[in-house]
Amino acid sequence: MPQASRCSNFPVICGVSAIKIMMKKFLVVDQNYLRCDELAERLESDRGLVIVFPDIALLEMLKSDKWKSTMKGSLLILSRYPRRVHVSISIGVAIKREIREKRSSNGGLIDREVTKWFRELLNEVAADVEGEKTKVIADRILAIQQQVAIDELDHVSNKLRLEKIMSTLEPPVLSKGTIKRLRSGKITEHERREIISTAAPFVLEIFFQQADFLENKKKSFLKQKPAILRYTYSRLWLCLSWIARGGFEAAKGTTITNDVIDQEYVITATFFDGILSKEKRVSEAFVDLSGILA
């Protein structure tokens, strides 16, 4: 499997003209949507539909011992349309690149090298053969699973990071009255977005300190709507969701990890035209984040 690489600006990916790109609709597909009949129907009926396959989606397929059958079943529908599938880099990679280059990943999430590799894998799935690309995964599966466990499935770290962000949602950002209204379900969509926007600078300041950003560069950087801004909105959305539901302290690490993985799809989708998901909370998070970014 090739490593994620920095790609060129979005309008020229794969040699397609900017005009043609603008006529297409790029939708991120959630793991739970890959086997749905609706996906096949939409791809067949809408020739302008292009699927964005997040890096995390492939990693999710490979985390179990039955990865071959899982992968084949999940990729069967997409294997009929390999030229209409693009692979995006992970949000973590995007953020690291932003820290290094001090500019937004907006417009550069498609990885052309990995997309080419993945399309060849889809061709193997379509032909029902265990070809070169499948064998490459087989040779590296243990290393891949170990890396996934470290990077994505560290339940303790995932909960601690979210807990740290949760701590920013205290007075004066959130009053006791607001928290009470959150838990009673009386906060409007507009209010929820306002809370996220108000709390975001407190979280972003932690990032800016760690990334050694110059004070006069912060504003222009955020205007580019970078991945770190979208990540911040996403995590604050999760925090508000947990406050509304209650029970964060007692929540299992696996539950928090599932939330975090879901948000990887949501954040990626905000760089494109939407998301295909069966999860109501995923769709709601996408609508809220898109509304704030707009």
pLDDT digits (tens, 9 = 90+) for 5-26: 333 333 333 333 444 444 789 9
Whether 149 shows a pLDDT value over 80: the answer reads: no
Give the C-alpha distances (Å, rounded to integers) separating 196 from 204, 208, 289: 12, 18, 9
Crossing angle (nearest 10°) for helices 67-75 and 132-151: 110
Whether 1 shows a pLDDT value over 60: the answer reads: no
pLDDT for 4 equals 44
pLDDT for 171 equals 77
pLDDT for 208 equals 86
Find the mean pLDDT for residues 94-112: 90
pLDDT for 87 equals 94
Q: How far apart are the first and last CA of the chain?
A: 36
Confidence of residue 150 (pLDDT cuts 50, 70, 90): low
Supply the pTM of this predicted model.
0.87
Q: Tell me: the pLDDT tens digits for 177-229?
A: 888 888 888 889 999 999 999 999 988 988 888 777 888 888 899 999 999 99
Find the mean pLDDT for residues 38-45: 96
Whether 120 shows a pLDDT value over 60: the answer reads: yes
State the average pLDDT for the chain: 87
Whether 280 shows a pLDDT value over 90: the answer reads: yes
pLDDT for 21 equals 45
Give the C-alpha distances (Å, rounded to integers) separating 103 from 59, 157, 212, 225, 272: 27, 27, 13, 10, 18
List the beta bridge partners of residue 276.
29
Find the mean pLDDT for residues 114-121: 93
